[in-house]
Amino acid sequence: MNMLENIRAQRERLSKSERKVADAILQAPQRAIHSSIAALAASAGVSEPTVNRFCRRMETRGFPDFKLHLAQSLASGTPWVSRSVDENDSVEAYTGKIFESAMACLDQVRQTLDMQTINRAVDWLSQARRITFFGLGASAVVAHDAMNKFLRFNVPVFYSDDIVVQRMNCINGGSGDVLVLISHTGRTRQMVELARLARDNDVMVIAITSPDSPLAQEAGLSLLPEVPEDTDVYIPMISRLAQLTLLDTLATGFILRRGPKFRENLKRVKEALRESRFDKGLFLPDNTQ
Amino acid sequence: MNMLENIRAQRERLSKSERKVADAILQAPQRAIHSSIAALAASAGVSEPTVNRFCRRMETRGFPDFKLHLAQSLASGTPWVSRSVDENDSVEAYTGKIFESAMACLDQVRQTLDMQTINRAVDWLSQARRITFFGLGASAVVAHDAMNKFLRFNVPVFYSDDIVVQRMNCINGGSGDVLVLISHTGRTRQMVELARLARDNDVMVIAITSPDSPLAQEAGLSLLPEVPEDTDVYIPMISRLAQLTLLDTLATGFILRRGPKFRENLKRVKEALRESRFDKGLFLPDNTQ
DNA sequence: AGACCGCTTGTAATTTTATTACAATGCACT
DNA sequence: AGTGCATTGTAATAAAATTACAAGCGGTCT
């Protein structure tokens, strides 16, 4: 578990003094792990027992144990916490914050994903007669990307961001079809209706959305990437990174499930495309990276 | 750097008792970091000062400091590395690998990005009369997403994945226009031609592509996210995560540059949309997260 | 408004833990 | 065997963390 992200997540629940401790640590995590409890208490402007209580609240045995956990979180190079962009931030500052927030988000999603559900989703997909990806707005982008990925496999794939086409597709769907619906909120009426329509026609519906949403309840299988709280108006849309990566995972699971013969085929396709780049005289779009 | 390796390397040079300490740690490093100096001394069969001297010899300030370093070494075992998916991997295994590779990629890009170029790109964008995003294949998805982001600001934006429309747009472009071209390889002929066309019409061209590519040379400004080597056929497309995040950064820079009045407006838009969700009786697509 | 309750925070005492100083031991070389 | 240096342990000291407890603050009920 990433301790820095954990601190940030719990920050709101803390009392006034404990929040001071949290802030002092988040502001200079590297210094925090090299400080004694007295030094940290001083720099946070609180008493030593307060720091100790803070550590216990973070589910550690005490201050030394807390430092150990924090050190492990910092070990991977950089502390990635979701931090809000400030209007006085320099380029370096906001770039760092955005990339770190993205990483923190991916980290959290990775840890909260239910592997069993992923496994079942891969089961469904690898046995599908036909796979369809739908989303609207920002999630349309994700659906589009998913189609690009699955296009490389020998399975019929479909994508559209036109709600009328989407409806027609669901109405004409049937047993053996798998429909993947992507919606960050899970509260977009059109998506919920598509799920209902599709299920009425025995289409298997996989939703990538947020927990407790109408869409999650309507779908046969729900993948629920839990992204950190929306801390900032200026850097939204981070959740689609998680969605994209999740779909990478499903595509990988798909290909592993389909066996070695199938993978051989993909390798050949890839190499054939690689030889047709700019410097070789032939040209192809980018979806072959 | 890596403390475990360090201990192993220095083991031969140590004295008899200190070697006992080294062995005790190497045998159960996880136990070691949760032990006190007394406990570790006992399990190694030596006295406490011996353990302390051992820590000093490892170039740390003392036992607590040593534990910190050791903890960091143990933590950095798993994360961050791009690891290839193996055909015998379990769901947990390949999910972990994919997410970690994604994070590693973002981390590397963050470290290799040129801030000055970002800054100039933001300059260009924030003074643009009109902004256009083009890409093909997987990069079309990124361009589409970029349009979604910039649509929320009060600047004319355009996107298309139709090469004919793209050409027409470039031919009709003029001074004050900014064109953002996205291509992972930078060797897609159409993209390079678009850049040339656009520049002939005094359009400012920003490329998001790979270094030393024809597109990078053709563009007025090139943002070059260096993604890790393509280690695996099964997890490609990681670079678009970097591109998306980079565009998040540009959008953030854009909004910061445009000043506070503008941000106020965005906040209002966002709140207005939030109130119109499923549970409130109104419905909107997802591009408002 | 005032008294009471519970939660938060700090002070001071206690305990645990780590470090230092120094003495004893072992080992090599004369 | 004896001297000198390095290694190790013992005991004292210092530092750090934890605990117990009391004061303070904010809220509610009478």
Please report residues of A whose CB lies closer than 8 A to that of B278: 185, 187-189, 192, 213-214
Pick out residues 32-51 of chain A having their CB under 7 A from any atom of nucleic acid strand D.
36-38, 48-49
Tell me the shortest Cα–Cα distance from A45 to chain B, in angstroms.
24
CB contact under 8 A, B106 and A106: yes
pLDDT of B273 strictly over 80: no
Confidence tier at B233 by pLDDT (50, 70, 90):
very low
Average predicted confidence (pLDDT) for chain B: 81
CB contact under 8 A, A138 and B145: yes
Interface probe, candidates B286, B287, B288, B289, chain A, greatest A C-beta count within 10 A = B286
Please report residues of B whose CB lies closer than 8 A to that of A243: none
Whether the CB-CB separation of B69 and A30 falls below 8 Å is answered with no
Distance A246 CA to C27 C1' (A): 64
Tell me, what's the pLDDT at A92? 87
pTM of the prediction? 0.73
Whether the CB-CB separation of B142 and B153 falls below 8 Å is answered with no
- pLDDT tens digits for B179-192? 999 998 888 888 99
Q: Tell me how far apart the alpha carbons of residues B111 and A102 are, in angstroms, rounded to a whole number.
A: 14
Tell me, what's the pLDDT at A83? 64
Closest Cβ opposite residue B102 in set A106, A137, A277: A106
Whether the CB-CB separation of A46 and A20 falls below 8 Å is answered with yes
User: What is the residue-wise DSSP string for B104-127?
Assistant: HHHHHHHHH--HHHHHHHHHHHHT
Pick out residues 51-90 of chain B having their CB under 7 A from any atom of nucleic acid strand D.
53, 64
- pLDDT tens digits for A99-123? 888 888 888 888 889 999 999 999 9
Whether nucleic acid strand C comes within 7 Å of the CB of B100, the answer is no
Whether nucleic acid strand C comes within 7 Å of the CB of A63, the answer is no
Residues A46-54, mean pLDDT to the nearest whole number = 90
pLDDT of B126 strictly over 80: yes
Q: What is the DSSP letter of A220?
A: S
Residues constituting chain B: 289
Sequence-distant (6+) residues with CB within 8 A of B278 are A185, A187, A188, A189, A192, A213, A214
pLDDT of B275 strictly over 60: no
Confidence tier at A1 by pLDDT (50, 70, 90):
low
Type and span of the H or E element at A195: helix A189-200
